[in-house]
């Protein structure tokens, strides 16, 4: 479910370079890396929102600041086989919209965004709607509906004469 194609940028990269990468790859976040003797490591994450709000607040040009200066270095991780609810809880608890997905060997497998969760839950909701519709169709096949008896039309009482919880304007 997560995006396994992670786009990264070195912490020393410019904000302009970060913006170009985001546009080129159609992503809203980059994994910020730092090089060390043992290899490249995840340093943090920078989002399109960080680029716009933080850079503008500092009145900086895109080439003046380094990505590492804006990156969020407190990493919020979720295990590869975590449930959707666990990921949602991690986002809510941490106040983030993206989680790094970690494999069994501490390697970065991907990025899970709030959009990914919404997409997954939407698919689940569609499945629930299908269950409801299927049950209703089965019920109608087994017990056809009988026409409602025609009686007097029902009138809605004047406003002020009934205990209305709310009134829709213009009704």
Q: Taking 80 as the threshold, does the pLDDT of residue 2 lie above it?
A: no
Q: pLDDT digit string (tens) for 55-86?
A: 777 776 656 789 999 999 999 999 999 999 99
d(CA 73, CA 171): 54
Decide if 20 is inside a domain: yes
Decide if 126 is inside a domain: no
Decide if 77 is inside a domain: yes
Nearest of 38, 85, 21 to residue 99 by alpha carbon: 85
Decide if 101 is inside a domain: yes
In the chain, the number of structural domains is 1
What is the pLDDT averaged over residues 99-109?
89
d(CA 49, CA 64): 18
pLDDT bracket for residue 156 (50, 70, 90):
confident
50 DSSP 8-state letter: I
Decide if 57 is inside a domain: yes
Q: What percent of the chain has pLDDT over 70?
A: 85
CA of residue 28 relative to chain centroid, distance: 11
Is the pTM of the predicted complex or chain greater than 0.75? no
CATH number at residue 98: 3.10.580.10
CA of residue 131 relative to chain centroid, distance: 25
The greatest distance separating any two alpha carbons of the chain, rounded to the nearest whole angstrom, comes to 86
42: containing domain: 8-113
Decide if 81 is inside a domain: yes
Q: For the sheet with 77-79, list strands across it.
A: 77-79, 98-102, 108-113
- Give me the pLDDT at residue 123, please: 86
Decide if 17 is inside a domain: yes
Decide if 137 is inside a domain: no
């Amino acid at each position: 479910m997560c995006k396994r194609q992670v786009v990264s940028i070195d912490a020393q990269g410019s904000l302009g370079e970060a913006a170009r990468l985001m546009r080129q790859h159609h992503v809203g976040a980059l994994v910020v890396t730092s090089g060390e003797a043992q290899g490249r490591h995840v340093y943090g994450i920078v989002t399109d929102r960080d680029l716009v709000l933080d850079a503008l607040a500092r009145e900086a040009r895109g080439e003046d600041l380094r990505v590492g200066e804006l990156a969020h270095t407190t990493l919020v991780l979720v295990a590869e086989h975590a449930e959707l609810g666990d990921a949602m809880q991690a986002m809510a608890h941490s106040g983030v919209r993206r989680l790094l997905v970690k494999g069994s060997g501490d390697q970065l497998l991907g990025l899970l965004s709030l959009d990914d969760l919404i997409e997954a839950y939407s698919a689940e909701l569609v499945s629930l709607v299908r269950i409801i519709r299927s049950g209703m169709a089965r019920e109608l096949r087994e017990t056809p509906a009988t026409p409602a008896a025609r009686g007097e039309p029902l009138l809605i009482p004047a406003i002020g004469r009934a205990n209305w919880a709310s009134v829709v304007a213009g009704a």
